[in-house]
Amino acid sequence: MTQCKYESQRVAYPYFLIAILLFAGQILFGLIIGAQYVWPDFLFPAIPFNIARMIHINLLVVWIIFGFMGSAYYLLPEEVEGEIYSTKLALIDCYLFLVGGIIAIAGYLFRWHDGREFLEQPTIIKIAIVIVVLLFIFNMIMTMVKGRKRTSISIVLLGGFLGLAVFYLFAFYKPANLTEDKFYWWWVVHLWVEGVWELIMASLLSFLIIKLTGIDREVAEKWLYIIIGLTLFTGIVGTGHHYYWIGTPAFWKTWGAWFSASEPLPFLAMVAFAFKMVRKRTREHPNRAAVLWTVGSAVMAFLGAGVWGFMHTLPKINYYTHGTQITASHGHLAFFGAYAMIVLAMISYAVPNIRKSGGFANQKAEILAFWTMVISMIFIAITLTGAGIAQAYLQRVVGLSYMETQGQIAIFYIVRLFFGLTFAAGLIIYIYDFFSSSKTA
């Protein structure tokens, strides 16, 4: 079996391990808030909804970033043909991030938090995050400088991380005017997930496609530039779809609509790229699970970010769906498809190569986990979409109050919780497989 070519690639392993454990934590808190929708007294008042939801989403962001960093450390030596500049720094940074993350999450449980959505990290934790990311970027740049080559994949990946660092700085800016506050808040949130994170995703996707199909690098990297071009041409001005109702001028309804309606294009290009390259493959890679995660990520990102995003992005529709469960359904499917799955694809590909014992994870178990999680997430999204449509109609057309409406749509939350549990079952299979094959393989 293929082993990693460069010893320093192994430093990715602790990042991947932590990512998976934090993923499990994210799902645990997802189940808690899913249960609170059904039984509002569950864990109340010890862990109220707002705290559990804060933890659910913060863990998501942190494990994805752990996954991105691990992926970068795995991919860089092969791309630039040279070892990581400092594996020691990579490890120190990893543990610094882990300790910071644990302190933040534990702090939330004791109500130590700031209060803007997703940016609840107290200022000192935010500063720690910036330090962690800058140390990582330093290590990445030094690796690229010392390496023999600089490929497009590595440059785009670096661009993605630089963007991640730069736009996070807007988290420190908190104007008193709520409209202005929300305006720049989206520079972190939107320009991350519908901007620079897609650069990271696209470069990981290109790397995986090259490794798994054996297609020509020139072709893959041309596609990479087309994908990220479509991403930023549509995504930057597409920020405007968040500026319809927050006090910003009405012209955003036009700009936001046109540009964000085009935001599915980069995801469509990813799907076309993945399928075309897999069809033209010059090798049958034995790691079927990695191929499945890779192609699956492109497809699910297109569904979740592209189709589910398009569904409610036009102002005439968004007027009724804004701030309903429709948004939640889109968020779940998009994040899982685009970011969770691309990280799981990298883990699936890289970890068997990192483990000295060699060998792949139990492919059957991993593929079962894949389908269980993917199908569960699709049903979570469909259920929340149903809830959202009913909510928009009852509350905004019929005119029932918020809580009356919630009573009417209770059944959707029960079904959603059920699929949350099946998702968790898929994750348990995945984790069991991950750890059992580390012993036996």
Partner 1 sequence: MTKSSARNIFIGGTLFFAAVFLILTYKSLSSETLSKRTHPENISDKVVWGKRIWERNACIDCHTLLGEGAYYAPELGNVIKRRGEAGVRAILKTDALQGWGTVRKMPKFNLSEKDIDGLVEFFKWVGRIDTNNWPPNEQG
What residues between 332 and 361 interact with partner 1 by CB under 8 A? Answer: none
DSSP label of 137 = H
Q: How far is the CB of 173 from partner 1 (least distance, A)?
A: 12
Angle at 199 between CA 216 and CA 196, to 5 degrees: 170
| Residue list 233-252, contact with partner 1 (CB under 8 A) | 233, 236-237, 239-240, 242-252
Residue type, 383: T
Work out the burial of residue 233: count CB atoms within 10 Å of its CB; fewer than 13 is exposed, 13-18 middle, 19 or more buried. middle
Handedness of CA 125, 131, 136, 141 (dihedral sign): positive
Complex with partner 1: residue 119 or 346, whichever CB lies closer: 119
Q: How far is the CB of 71 from partner 1 (least distance, A)?
A: 21
Nearest residue to 69 (alpha-carbon basis) of 24, 16, 26, 30: 16
The answer to whether 177 contacts partner 1 (rule: CB under 8 A) is yes
DSSP label of 47 = S
Q: How many residues bind partner 1, per CB under 8 A?
A: 71
| Residue list 207-226, contact with partner 1 (CB under 8 A) | 218, 221-222, 225-226
Complex with partner 1: residue 177 or 282, whichever CB lies closer: 177
Complex with partner 1: residue 126 or 322, whichever CB lies closer: 322
The answer to whether 81 contacts partner 1 (rule: CB under 8 A) is no
The 35-64 site mask, x for binding partner 1 (CB under 8 A), equals: -xx--xx--xx--xxxx-xx----------
Structure tokens at 362: 């139990």
Nearest residue to 159 (alpha-carbon basis) of 171, 141, 139, 184: 141
- Candidate residues 10, 211, 322, 416; the one interacting with partner 1 per rule CB under 8 A: 322
Complex with partner 1: residue 121 or 297, whichever CB lies closer: 121
| Residue list 244-303, contact with partner 1 (CB under 8 A) | 244-253, 255
| Residue list 358-397, contact with partner 1 (CB under 8 A) | 395-397
- Candidate residues 228, 274, 343, 427; the one interacting with partner 1 per rule CB under 8 A: 228
CA dist 322 and 241 (Å) reads 10
Helical axes 197-213 vs 217-238, angle rounded to 10°: 160
Tokens 């993605």, residue?
Answer: 160
Please identify, among the stretches 92-100, 113-121, 291-299, 415-423, the one whose residues bind partner 1 according to the rule CB under 8 A: 113-121
Complex with partner 1: residue 229 or 359, whichever CB lies closer: 229
The 181-210 site mask, x for binding partner 1 (CB under 8 A), equals: -xx---------------------------
- What stretches of 83-177 show up as alpha helix (H) in DSSP? 87-109, 123-146, 152-168
Distances in Å between the Cα of 306 and the Cα atoms of 78, 194, 261, 337 are 31, 10, 9, 10
- Candidate residues 78, 79, 93, 120; the one interacting with partner 1 per rule CB under 8 A: 120
Work out the burial of residue 194: count CB atoms within 10 Å of its CB; fewer than 13 is exposed, 13-18 middle, 19 or more buried. buried
- Candidate residues 324, 353, 363, 385; the one interacting with partner 1 per rule CB under 8 A: 324
| Residue list 131-160, contact with partner 1 (CB under 8 A) | 152
Nearest residue to 278 (alpha-carbon basis) of 292, 262, 259, 264: 292
Please identify, among the stretches 97-105, 111-119, 123-131, 338-346, the one whose residues bind partner 1 according to the rule CB under 8 A: 111-119
Complex with partner 1: residue 169 or 178, whichever CB lies closer: 178
